[in-house]
Chains A and B, each alone.
Chain A
Amino acid sequence: MGWLLARLYLRTAVLRKRSVIIGLFVALEVLLAFNAAGHTTFGNLLRELVTGFMLPVVALVFGSAVIRDDLEGGTLGYFLARPIPHHTLLLSRTGMAALVAMAMGLFMTLGNAVALGASGSELAAATAAIALGAFAYTCVFVALGILFRRTFLAGFMLLFADWALGRMPMGGRFASVRAHVENLAGIEPPFRAVAEMLAPPPSAVTSVLALMALSGGLMAFATWRFRRFEFSGAEG
């Protein structure tokens, strides 16, 4: 049942014309990486375009589609009227959304690594960070999709808050998902104030635990909330 639901999500939410825009941006990012060779580093480009923009946006698109697309389209009622446990519906679709976000993130990471000549250890760290980051961001947007009708607006505002938090001094930036992803990937922050040196970044293990706790907590909350979910027709 779970695999069937995940495949159905892939067909109805991912393999659509509208995903072409996301695909174009992903391709453009890799293309830019090849043109940027010699002018920037792997870490810089990853921070500016992948962890700073593409990864959260891809997760926003596919994470918010997990429930919100069917809710707005009115097709969620067909699922909820079937003998499908709510958690199976939610978790299988979330899993597929996270896989799609990971695949896109890893494609960009690999493209950037090849274009900018990243070392094996840099690529390994970035791969792990992007995979975990894709999962964490997807969980964030799935939960937003269950909580808010205007998921995209809430998502844009959350991305803005994540970006703003990511620029806080004195380790305050580690209140953002982005800072933990960049910390795991071994990417330097965009600025290095004295205050930043006084509060060194947490260890990689701490960042992994922080991202996993966030994802797990959000999914537990989303599942609990979704079990109490009521469907009153299309909201689109």
Chain B
Amino acid sequence: MTAVITTERLSRWYGQVIALNDVSVTIEQGIVGLLGPNGAGKSTFLRLVVGLMRPTSGALRVLGAVPADEIAWRRRFGYCPEHDNFYEDMTGLEFVETFARLSGFAAGDARRAAAKTLDRVRLAESDYAKKQIRQYSKGMRQKVKIAQALVHEPELVVLDEPLTGADPVSRHEINELLKELGRAGHTVVVSSHVLHEVERVTQRFILIDKGRLLAEGTVGEIRALIDKHPHRIELSTPDPRGLAARLVAEPTVVSVNITESGLTLETREADGCYAAIGRLAGESGIPVLRMVSPDNNLDAVFRYLTRG
């Protein structure tokens, strides 16, 4: 798969404050979640990607170009900023149409493309055609922002916190739209500090904190790299003591604790341990009613990476 965005030792300073520190990463086609707490450097990274800022040091190439230097190349991406800023007295249609025209569309084409894109982001025609943006709810405003980024059908879509402030229905609709974009072959980079929201859209992540790249890959891949924290697995079984006695003999298991509802074990080799549980349950005839891994999710991975 070809790289859409490549950065090499990318850094950006604001005066004496470092916002992005030595980030080397490669982003390929598909949907990628850019995750990190507030102030991690996500927005700075995205602004560098779309050329609104220049790196202080390091190299950045997006779709084969250096973003801040090449104006015509900007047709190939769409950017949805984090801030909630509009020309409030325009309708959603006028706003999106204006920016379609500024992307080079002829007048008639721009209007049609704007209406089509606003339909695509699931904004009702009665809202986008007649109401001024100042009358829109937060979710509707987010959709207009996304629509202006999509109206010219860009290859790369960069969305900075698109779910912030949206109600649950709007969140669901935006998430569905992101999946649809991914399926249609767009590369989507979506930033968020709400990890579980992005987990619904993609399994590929870039984690940053305090300007530094913490990890990249799928949750499983990232989790497997964290040696310091053993992987926890919770089991529900009618005979926790019997199953525990067999599990402690397994080389992949680090520790076993008996709890009220079953048992919790820790392992440094999750895949081997899952296989061992299945095998032992079969051999001993002790049923395993439920098996979950409380830290095999983005929240836990992120917690481990940021807090050590």
Contacts and interface: CB of A to CB of B under 8 A. Distances in A.
Interface of A: 1, 4-5, 8, 11-12, 16, 73-75, 77-86, 230-234
Which 10 A-B residue pairs are closest in the complex by CB-CB distance?
Answer: A74-B85, A81-B79, A83-B74, A231-B52, A74-B83, A230-B53, A82-B102, A77-B81, A83-B75, A234-B83
B134 to A, nearest CB: 12
Interface size for chain B: under 10, 10 to 19, 20 to 34, or 35 or more residues?
20 to 34
Contact of B83 (A5, A8, A233): A233
Contacts of B98: 8
Interface string B40-62: 00011001001111100000000
Interface string B224-268: 000000000000000000000000000000000000000000000
B286 to A, nearest CB: 58
B103 interface: yes
Interface in B75-94: 75, 77-79, 81-87, 89
B104 interface: yes
B99 interface: yes
Interface of B: 14, 43-44, 47, 50-54, 71-75, 77-79, 81-87, 89, 98-99, 101-104, 148
Given A73-B85, A85-B71, A232-B14, 10 more contacts: A4-B101, A4-B102, A5-B102, A8-B98, A16-B89, A74-B85, A75-B87, A78-B99, A231-B52, A232-B52
Contacts of A232: 14, 44, 47, 52-53
Given A4-B101, A230-B52, A83 B73 contact: yes
Contacts of B14: 232
21 contacts: A1-B104, A73-B85, A74-B83, A75-B86, A75-B87, A78-B81, A78-B148, A81-B77, A82-B99, A82-B102, A83-B72, A83-B73, A84-B102, A86-B71, A230-B52, A230-B53, A232-B14, A232-B47, A233-B82, A233-B83, A234-B85
